[in-house]
Chain A
Amino acid sequence: MRRLLFLLPLVILVVGVQVLTDWTDTRYYLTQLTMAAYYSLLIIGLCALMGYTGQISLGHAGFFAIGGYLSAALTTRNLAFFQDQAFFRLLEGAGILATGQDIYGAELVVVAPWAACLVAIIAAALIAWLLGIPVLKLKGHYLAMATLGFGIIIYRIALASEYFGEADGISEVPPFLLPFGLEVSGSFAVREANYYIAWGLLIMGLILLRNLIDSRVGRALRSIHGSEDAAGAMGVDTARCKLQVFVLSAVFAAVAGVFLTHYNGGIGPSEAGVMKSVRYVAIVAVGGMAHLWGALVMGVVLNFLSLRGVFGSYDDAVFGLILIGIMLFAPNGVLSLLNFSGVLDFFRRRRRRVKEPGGLR
Chain B
Amino acid sequence: MALLAVSNLGKQFGGLQAVSEVSFSVERGMIKAVIGPNGAGKTTLFNLITGSLTPSSGSVLLDGRDITGHRPHQIASFGIARTFQNIKLFPGMTVLENVMIGRHIRSSGGFIASMLHLPWVLAEEQRIRQAALERLEMLGIAELAELEATSLAFGQQRAVELARALAMEPDLLLLDEPAAGLNIYETAEVGRLISSIRQLGITVLLVEHDMSLVMDISDEIVVLSFGRKIAEDVPEAIQSNEEVIKVYLGE
Contacts and interface: CB of A to CB of B under 8 A. Distances in A.
B142 to A, nearest CB: 8
Contact of B90 (A216, A222, A248): A222
Contact of A215 (B71, B72, B82, B121): B121
A360 interface: yes
B52 A232 contact: yes
Given A238-B73, A290-B92, A359-B130, A231 B101 contact: yes
Nearest to B80: A233
A216 B114 contact: yes
Contacts of A237: 71, 73
Contacts of B129: 356-357
B114 A232 contact: no
Interface residues of B, number: 43
A236 B146 CA distance: 23
Contact of B130 (A215, A217, A231, A357): A357
B104 interface: yes
Measured as residues with beta carbon below 8 angstroms from the partner, the interface class of chain A is 35 or more
A168 interface: no
Contacts of B71: 232, 237
Contact of A212 (B72, B90, B111): B111
B104 A226 contact: no
Nearest to B170: A235
B109 interface: yes
Interface string B53-96: 00000000000000000011100110001101000111111000
Interface in B142-171: 146, 164, 168
B44 to A, nearest CB: 14
Contacts of A218: 114
A216 B115 contact: no
Contacts of B72: 229, 232-233
Interface in B108-153: 109-111, 114-117, 121, 124-126, 128-130, 133, 146
A233 B79 CA distance: 11
B101 A223 contact: yes
A215 B109 contact: yes
A313 interface: no
Interface string A207-241: 01101101111111011011101111111111000
Contacts of B191: none
B125 A216 contact: yes
B100 interface: yes
A276 to B, nearest CB: 26
B92 A215 contact: no
A127 to B, nearest CB: 19
Contacts of B168: 234-235
Contacts of A217: 109-111, 114
Interface string A1-35: 00100000000000000000000000000000000
In this complex, the member of B93, B102, B104 whose beta carbon has the largest number of chain A beta carbons within 10 angstroms is: B104
Contacts of A232: 51-52, 71-73, 76
A235 B52 contact: no
B203 interface: no
A341 interface: no
A236 B117 contact: no
B125 A215 contact: yes
Given A223-B101, A232-B52, A215 B90 contact: no
B177 interface: no
Contacts of A214: 117
Contacts of A223: 90, 93, 101
B105 interface: yes
B107 interface: yes
A244 interface: yes
6 contacts: A211-B117, A232-B51, A233-B81, A234-B101, A349-B146, A359-B133
Interface of B: 50-52, 71-73, 76-77, 81-82, 84, 88-93, 97, 100-105, 107, 109-111, 114-117, 121, 124-126, 128-130, 133, 146, 164, 168
The 8 closest A-B pairs by CB, nearest first: A226-B90, A232-B72, A235-B105, A235-B76, A215-B114, A230-B88, A216-B109, A211-B117
Given A211-B115, A222-B92, A235-B73, 5 more contacts: A216-B124, A216-B128, A220-B104, A234-B101, A357-B126
Interface of A: 3, 208-209, 211-212, 214-220, 222-223, 225-227, 229-238, 244, 248, 290, 349, 352, 356-357, 359-360
